Amino acid sequence: MPSGHENDDEQVLDSIGDAANPGTMTVCPDETLVDALDPTRALIVGGEHRRGGAGLFDVEDPADRRVIAAVADADRRDAIAAVDAAQAAFAGWRALPPRSRSEILHRAHALMLRDADDLATLVTRENGKSFADARGEVVYAAEFFRWFAEEAVRTGGDFGPSPAGGTRTLVTHRPVGVAALVTPWNFPAAMATRKIAPALAAGCTVVLKPAAETPLTAIAVVRLLAEAGVPDGVVNLVPSTDAAGVVGAWLADARVRKISFTGSTRVGQLLLRQAADRVVNTSMELGGNAPFVVTADADLDAAVEGAMVAKFRGGGQACTAANRFYVHTDVVAEFTARFGARVEALTVGPADTGAQIGPLISGAAVDRVTALVADAVATGARVAATAAVPESKGWFLAPTVLADVPAGAAILDEEIFGPVAPIVAWSDEEDLLRQVNGTEMGLAAYVYAGDLGRALRLAERIEAGMVGVNRGLVSDPAAPFGGMKQSGIGREGARVGLEEFCETQFFSVDWPV
């Protein structure tokens, strides 16, 4: 069954889905929100707020490139201190009854909703996304606490006679131990809670390294967990600009038995090699290159609506974002015109203006996406539509629709991570599937078709861990999030998300006949 967050999530995304109505939600940045976090003492180790061994690092607002906080910068010694605290807290947290852990997670859910506007403001300040997007993320993030609060008390196991007789097999599950969690900048609230919640529900303690671009939201979430009743040492926060040093120290520490990472495939490959040295339990949610398929009989109104959400949520800076649009030749002209009109109506600017699309995370990101667009145009694509971009010091990039994109264009092979939608026309289904599956990535995909049976048959042949069928959203705490091929290992969310933080153990019990 779907979880309760879906309707809330879609409501706050309406300002993207309905380009003619930019919505009324705006944010008034309040410096006291940042100051209250005491970012110069952002390390949270064993419940103590500390300065970092490496000094401080700046966090910038990508909408205007102003420094909004100086944050404690952890070094390898801080990383090991966090493991010390997590290991010391593990026995007590593991022994806590599942019902008690569940009640704490329920309180965390309520506290996140209580502070949803403030958390959304923090997200807009350090990440740049629109307030509607940011608030949608916070509601979604909070739902992981509720979902895993409910899963925490649904203990699994098995019992039965062995086939040969004379014994009974008792199967149980135990927490894996100290878990290292590494999260990206594009969803600073949701990527943290999607890992923290199942780890705590399973009985693990954690050390968390958020992205250096967006540590403030993580600080706020960890503070809320303490307010919810999480004991000192159970959740430890280690912001750092030395990701390799901190994570490397964790992977070399025999007390760390789990790493859960969300980020690029390249970094995931490096971490897998390091994890192999100690055979560390790993979960990897890596890069994507999501196709968005529109058949000749698709409802074009629905397809355009879904495309707006699948492409432009978070300004296209999502691993599940629609990356390549494959539209049947019979409807490609009409789809491009309708889609382009919606894109041209998008408002771009800082979150405090109520704009629907914010900046990219950095100047390097703008340069990379701009180069992909230029290459596509040089190889035969044409710019079918763009939105207006304000004059600003921020890292803004015009939402763009590219038509007539040739099959070999680099923009189809790389994860764009920006508000650009390349459209390819198709007519033969087998050739379509060859193009759709012709990548080492397999995280998400989208299919729009009038015949539901055909849509499902297409979805079954697409090599992706998640497929949105006639909808532009795939993420849900109640569903197993993850990909195939080089898009990752393991799943987050659903019951399997809890099992990722557990070890299976069985007892063979003598049972005389």
CB contact at 8 A, 102 and 155 = no
CA angle at 24 for the pair 21 and 366, rounded to the nearest 5°:
70
β-partners of residue 158 are 171
CB contact at 8 A, 120 and 142 = no
β-partners of residue 313 are none
CB contact at 8 A, 259 and 281 = yes
CA-based R_g, the chain, Å:
23
d(CA 279, CA 268): 15
Is-catalytic flag, 285?
yes
3-class SS at 167?
strand
Candidates 271, 221, 215; CA nearest to 240 is: 215
Compute φ and ψ for 194, nearest 5 degrees. -65, -20
Instruction: Sort 229 into a burial class: Cβ within 10 Å, 0-12 / 13-18 / 19+.
Output: middle
CB contact at 8 A, 75 and 238 = no
3-class SS at 329?
coil
Distance of CA 361 to the CA centre of its chain: 15
Residues contacting 381, CB < 8 A, separation 6+: 402, 403, 404, 405, 406, 409, 411, 422
Token output for 105: 């997670």
- Residues in the chain, overall count: 513
d(CA 326, CA 448): 10
Token output for 243: 């990701």
Q: Are strands 484-485 and 441-442 parallel, antiparallel or unpaired?
A: antiparallel
CA atoms within 13 A on the CB side of 273: 6
* DSSP assignment string, 45-114: ETTEEE-BTTBEEEEEETTTTEEEEEEE---HHHHHHHHHHHHHHHHHHHHS-HHHHHHHHHHHHHHHHH
CA atoms within 13 A on the CB side of 232: 8
Q: Which of 143, 285, 305, 500 is labelled catalytic?
A: 285
User: HEC states along 464-511?
Assistant: CCEEEECCCCCCCCCCCECCEECCEECCECHHHHHHCCEEEEEEEEEC
Report, as residue numbers or ranges, the catalytic residues: 285
